[in-house]
Amino acid sequence: MMKLAFLLFALVALSECLHKIPLKKGKTAREVLQEQGLWEEFRIRHPYKPMVKFASNFANTEKMTNDADLQYYGVISIGNPPQSFTVMFDTGSSNLWIPSVYCSSVACSNHAKFNPKGSKTFKSTSNSVSIQYGTGSMTGVLGYDTVEVAGIIVRNQIFGMSQTEAQFMYYMKPDGILGLAFPSLSSSGATPVFDNMMSQRLLSQDLFSVYLTSDSNDGSVVIFGGIDSSYYTGSIYWIPLSSQSYWQITMNSVTINKKAVACNGGCQAIVDTGTSYIVGPSSDFQNLLSSLRASVDQNGDAFVNCNSVGSMPDLTFTLGGYAFSIPPSAYVSQTSSGCMLRIGTGGFGQLWILGDVFIREFYSIFDRGNNRVGLATAV
């Protein structure tokens, strides 16, 4: 213990007096510390965070593009020199993957493809990866490289390089997906990007937050390591996680005019940036259709009379004892076929999915440090 205490004392003194170290001509303080075998310990104890001097809350913001309210995506880079890709930031999955030069699927033909031979820092593996989403799947191989997200440099990040992709992915605007859920969901045991951000101590707070705009290409953001009060009004309501896989929370009920129309007696819900609509189990969905006087067409889409939209009620989701209401302008959209509900069924069994329709109304904070979700009324 005395040896450890002495080492800690020495490191503190070193931190305070670093500028006093006599440097050999042409050598930096880092080089001198390396020669003395002290640099690695100093670096670990005092990680360099250059953005601290520019922002009091030290958060890194990535702008996202809104693709017709269907998906939101931003830009990351992988490798050295960096190769750029657009990715969906998805709180409903945990893997990072992008198309690669190994991919022969049609879906890869109109997307940027990663070339491992073009990166000096790439490390290959013999491990495969296969991921199934609600709208398609990908298979590929895993590799390691440096990944930059919102100005944050994540070293030795494992990621998937697709070899095959489902045909549906041809129509996706982003090249790939960056999963922001928990490691337990990760295919092939790959460490998620956000977990590496935390373990490499690249954040001032172990959380990220999301603000989604409606019907606009600009304005949406994901913020790593901080909360921006300019994106919400009123209080943040914190809801503890009920499971650490998806961002899963307890939902008490779904009500219209204080009358329960779904999730009566309680159920589970996940907050998922990778799902466009609000999605519920079949029986609950049918109850909602009846309450909203909606009908379903041959494609499974639900429609209401456009003349009645102005008088339709709010939907209230009670989560962790707090009520969050969304107006008909949020859950009904005008299409060429009529006024369609942005509510569907399917998904993950009995789980409700609170997708982008919900998140556009509430600035959402995903707090890994305290295993909770924060929701506040979006501006």
| Cβ-defined contacts of 107-111 (< 8 Å, 24+) | 107/136, 107/165, 107/166, 107/167, 107/168, 107/169, 107/170, 107/172, 108/162, 108/165, 109/170, 110/170, 111/172, 111/175, 111/176
Q: Could you tell me if 103 and 176 lie in one domain?
A: yes
Judge whether 19 lies within some domain: no
How far, in Å, CA of 151 to CA of 330, rounded?
32
Domain co-membership, 308 together with 213: no
Looking at the structure, tell me whether residues 287 and 346 fall in a common domain. Answer: yes
- Number of Cα atoms under 13 Å in the Cβ half of residue 152: 27
Single residue among 184, 204, 222 that ends a domain in this structure: 222
The 10s digit of each residue's pLDDT in 285-301 is 999 999 999 999 988 89
- 209: nearest Cα among 182, 184, 177, 231: 231
In a domain, 12, yes or no: no
Active site residue 272: yes
For the record, the structure tokens of 161 come out as 């390089």
C-alpha–C-alpha distance, residues 331 and 261, integer Å: 16
In a domain, 311, yes or no: yes
Does 84 map to a domain? yes
Task: Evaluate whether residue 30 is within a structural domain.
Answer: no
Together in a domain, 283 and 362:
yes
Q: Are residues 205 and 288 in the same domain?
A: no
Q: What is the pTM of this model?
A: 0.84
- Same domain flag for 84 and 204: yes
Q: How many CA atoms lie within 13 A of 167 on its CB side?
A: 0
Q: Do the domain assignments include residue 82?
A: yes
Judge whether 220 and 72 are in contact, CB under 8 Å. yes
**pLDDT at site 35:** 61
pLDDT tens sequence across 22-63: 444 455 555 555 565 554 444 433 343 333 333 334 479 999
Q: Are residues 206 and 84 in the same domain?
A: yes
Do 115 and 146 belong to one domain?
A: yes
User: Position 366: which residue type?
Assistant: F
Listed residue (152, 198, 132) closest to 59, CA to CA: 152
179 and 249 in a common domain? no
343-345 vs 278-280, strand pairing mode: parallel
Residue 355 lies in a domain: yes
Cα separation of 18 and 11, whole Å? 10
Task: List, as one string, the DSSP characters of 217-261.
Answer: SS-EEEEES---GGGEEEEEEEEEEEEETTEEEEEEEEEETTEEE
For strand 60-67 and strand 71-78, is the pairing parallel, antiparallel, or unpaired?
A: antiparallel
| Domain, as residue range, for 141 | 60-222
Task: Walk along the chain (379 residues) and give the pLDDT tens digit of each residue.
Answer: 433 333 333 333 334 343 433 444 455 555 555 565 554 444 433 343 333 333 334 479 999 999 999 999 999 999 999 999 999 999 999 999 999 999 999 999 999 999 999 999 999 999 999 998 877 789 999 999 999 999 999 999 999 999 999 998 999 999 999 999 999 999 999 999 999 999 999 999 999 999 999 877 789 999 999 999 999 999 999 999 999 999 999 999 999 999 999 999 999 999 999 999 999 999 999 999 999 999 999 888 999 999 999 999 999 999 999 999 999 999 999 999 999 999 999 867 889 999 999 999 999 999 999 999 999 999 9
- Whether residue 216 sits in one domain with residue 79: yes
Are 215 and 68 members of one domain? yes
356 as an active site residue: the answer is: no
Q: Among 69, 90, 145, 356, which one carries the catalytic annotation? A: 90
**156 and 256 housed in the same domain:** no
**One of 145, 175, 195, 272 is an active-site residue; which one?**
272
Domain finish residue from 222, 252, 280: 222
Q: Kindly report, residue by residue over 105-121, the tens digit of the pLDDT.
A: 999 999 999 999 999 99
Query: Is 5 among the domain residues?
Result: no
End-to-end CA distance of the chain: 53
**In the prediction, which pLDDT does 216 show?**
79
CB atoms closer than 10 angstroms to residue 16 = 9
Residue 356 is classified by DSSP as: H
Q: Which CATH number do you get for residue 200?
A: 2.40.70.10
- The tally of domains found in the chain comes to 2
Domain end marker among 222, 246, 269: 222
H/E stretch holding 45 reads helix 39-45
